[in-house]
Chains A and B, each alone.
Chain A
Amino acid sequence: MNAIEARDVSKVYRAHGRSRFTTLKSAFLSPRGQRGGSPEARFQALKGVTFDVAAGRSVGVVGRNGSGKSTLLKMMAGIGRPTSGTVRVNGRLSALIELGAGFHPEISGRENVLINGMMLGLTRRQVERRFDEIVTFAEMEAFIDAPVKTYSSGMQARLGFAVAVHIEPDVLLVDEVLAVGDESFSHKCLDRFAELRRQGRTIVLVTHALDLVTRHCHEALWLDKGQLRAQGDPQRVIDAYLTDVAKEENVALAASDAASRSDVEAGGTQRLPANMFEASEGRWGSREVEIVGCDVVDAEGQPTHVIESGAGMTVRLRVHAAGPVGDVVFGVGIFRTDGVCCYGSNTLIEGAPPGEVAGSGEVAFHVPRLDLLEGTYKLDVAAHRQNGVPYDYHRLMYTLRVTSAIKDSGVFRPAHRWTFGGGVRISGL
């Protein structure tokens, strides 16, 4: 049996401001949902979304901001109606869209729990029966009789969460609310989800925490610009989603880098920073030897801005000198956006005596495995004399995004593996 059936669901919002019926008459005569606004003034949040969720499954909904995830959740929750198409939900439904929505600040937590529970569809007696459990879960025993206005936002959210998950819904809809309270409370929330899952309840989770989806969901839905791009195995859907995000990031970084590049390739202006030692980004030097182009290319030799951690990368410089110039050293530096230097080296440090450039040439810095952590990095590239006087110094002018499925911490990732022996049983690595 399906817990949720969505058929060709579309939702159009008016993009600019609120609707104004011109007359009361038009408000009542025009057909439902079709009134008001020229096509430009509308925003299509969902376009023909069709899917089923079988009872007892947990589904993670992923997608960029503004892809229609929350709208879809609201349609499932019955808050607002699709412009066209239908959503059917079978069973008692509880939606965690905003925790503690509707808590009244002036009255006690106790009364608010009762009212909140009834608002979510329980009878007064049903709430009363679950009351102690709710309060214990929220860890609010000591404060439950104080007015809600004295609660911290975390306390309110905890109480709201506790009420919603104790409704014992057949279908639970959750919108990005797991980041509630401290670590121990969010563990408790996840435990509660696991329990609901074991009980065979259907859970729909909208979140940007992708690991939550891979770990806790049977399947994933990927929404993109209001359309359903994929539904299925969480790992595969999320991989596809991340690949798509990386592609888009590449385009965005290329655009931001294009400015520096075209500047460099057009011969460039001197952008000397006020203080060399606190330089952020810029370009300076005598230009006797000039770096006329810098590309980051991936293992296939394609220019890119996004490199998977552990994949190969090459920094390719095109250089030019009008006449023969001696005493030339080339260097490359990789920096984190917070300024930490992850790696820096030059031809001199590595043992090569200063060389010579005449006419046009190419310098490539090959990294067979870029073992950096996920994040955004900036590159320094330079040509300078042995004593450090620059011919052409490009400081933090190029951006590189490293992606990784593993969310480890630190600066770099040494090549490593795990082995286990004896009574230790860990699998999956």
Chain B
Amino acid sequence: MGRADGHPAATVPLLANFQRLVRYRALIRSLVARDLKARYRGTVFGFAWSFVNPLLYLLVYSFVFTVVMPGARPADLQPYAAFLFCGILPWTWFSSSLLEASNALVAGGNLIRKVLFPAEVLPIVSVLSGLANFCFGLPILVAFLVYNQVPIVPGDLLWLPAIVAVQLLLTIGLALLASALTVHFRDLRDLLQNLLMLWFFATPILYPISAVPVRFRWILELNPFTQLAVAYQETLFRGGAFTEWERVAAVGVVSIVIFAVGYAVFDRLRDSLPEEV
């Protein structure tokens, strides 16, 4: 059996397909690089565009909550903009790559119909491009924190890669799910757009989780991104040792499950993709 044939010899096709995906990692890397390069080629500001969206959020929300309604935010969040930034940067990665991934298969339809390669590469590339933009944003975030004299605990920063890894797993799982289903239900993309807006406000990004009344807090705790947002805020914004590793572990387990489900659904729908895109 050759390596690029569509019919892996292994007894469990799902695992064989997954192994094949791992073999295609060099392609994924090149596609992410291409994505980043192509997106900003011919634009004046180039990569700077990827920061415009989070910066706008930052400006608008900090204006609203520090100038227009200063009483609406808890007093212990100083400076508020830095707190916001810690949540908005990962959220932007999450939401934009999910939206992009949901369209990835439809946009790459010609490829899927004409070339034999693992289609899951496309949504994964969307998520990884988002991760790259997130990583470019991190130094800016750190610089912003330093400028605002937010005390950064070096030990906390060690947690950051773990949190990012968990978010990556979660996002890829959801991206696989969204991309494969969007091929069959095109309106899923519009649904997702609205869902993400709702999700944003149901996540403690604009407000600290401590500000949520206890009887509603359980709803937020069910949201895996709550755990991630709190973990980011804990590592980057708040002083003191990192104590939220339970959250990270919990959301890590959830993310593994979501990834497995997402991949299984994608694999289940794989054969229908060339016909439906």
Residues of A within 8 A of B (CB): 13, 18-21, 24, 27-28, 32-33, 74, 77-81, 87-95, 97-98, 101-102, 104, 106-107, 111, 114-115, 118-121, 123-124, 147, 170
Contact = CB atoms under 8 A, between A and B. Distances in A.
Contact of B274 (A74, A119, A147): A74
A102 to B, nearest CB: 4
Interface stretch (B27-35, B148-156, B238-246): B27-35
11 contacts: A19-B184, A77-B6, A77-B116, A78-B6, A79-B112, A101-B110, A102-B110, A102-B111, A107-B38, A118-B27, A119-B27
B interface, how many residues as a size bin? 35 or more
Contact of A106 (B4, B38, B117, B276): B38
Given A77-B6, A79-B113, A80-B274, 5 more contacts: A77-B116, A78-B116, A101-B110, A106-B41, A107-B38
Contact of B114 (A27, A97, A104, A121): A97
A123 B110 CA distance: 22
A94 B114 CA distance: 11
B73 interface: no
Given A77-B116, A98-B114, A102-B115, A170 B2 contact: yes
B37 A120 contact: no
A80 to B, nearest CB: 4
Nearest to B112: A79
Contacts, number: 105
Contacts of A87: 7
A101 B34 contact: no
Contacts of B76: none
Interface string B101-143: 0000000101111111100000000000000000000000000
A24 to B, nearest CB: 8
Nearest to B273: A80
B72 interface: no
- Among A79, A87, A115: residue with most chain B CB under 10 A: A79
Contact of A27 (B2, B41, B184): B184
Contacts of A97: 114-115
B3 to A, nearest CB: 6
Contacts of B112: 79
- Among A80, A94, A104: residue with most chain B CB under 10 A: A80
Interface in B240-277: 265, 268, 271-272, 274-276
Contacts of A119: 27, 111, 115, 117
Contact of A88 (B7, B26, B108, B110): B7
A115 B7 contact: no
B237 to A, nearest CB: 38
A118 B34 CA distance: 13
Given A81-B271, A92-B2, A111-B34, A106 B116 contact: no
Interface of B: 1-7, 24, 26-27, 30-31, 34, 37-38, 41-42, 108, 110-117, 181, 184-185, 265, 268, 271-272, 274-276
Nearest to B20: A121
B22 to A, nearest CB: 13
A33 to B, nearest CB: 7
B2 A93 contact: yes
Contacts of B276: 18-19
Nearest to B38: A106
B111 A101 contact: yes
What 9 A-B pairs come out closest when comparing CB atoms?
A78-B6, A121-B4, A101-B114, A92-B2, A106-B38, A118-B27, A81-B271, A102-B111, A98-B114
A80 B271 contact: yes
Contact of B41 (A19, A93, A95, A107): A107
B24 A89 contact: no
Chief secondary structure at chain A's binding surface:
loop
Contacts of B2: 89-93, 170
Contacts of B116: 77-79, 93, 95
A173 to B, nearest CB: 10
Nearest to A105: B38
A291 to B, nearest CB: 55
Nearest to B181: A24
Contacts of B4: 92-94, 120-121
B274 A79 contact: yes
Given A33-B271, A79-B114, A102-B115, A107 B37 contact: yes
- Among B42, B181, B274, B276: residue with most chain A CB under 10 A: B274
Given A91-B2, A121-B3, A21 B271 contact: no
Given A106-B42, A107-B38, A115-B27, A78 B7 contact: yes
Contacts of B181: 24
A24 B2 CA distance: 35
A153 B5 CA distance: 29
Contact of A32 (B7, B41, B113, B271): B271
Nearest to B42: A106
Nearest to A82: B271
Contacts of B114: 79, 97-98, 101-102
A100 to B, nearest CB: 10
B35 to A, nearest CB: 9
Contact of A92 (B3, B265, B268): B3
A102 B121 CA distance: 13
- Among B2, B37, B114: residue with most chain A CB under 10 A: B114
B111 to A, nearest CB: 4
B5 A93 contact: yes
A74 B111 CA distance: 13
A124 B7 contact: no
Contacts of A94: 4
Nearest to B39: A106
B30 A124 contact: yes
Contacts of A32: 271
Nearest to B117: A119
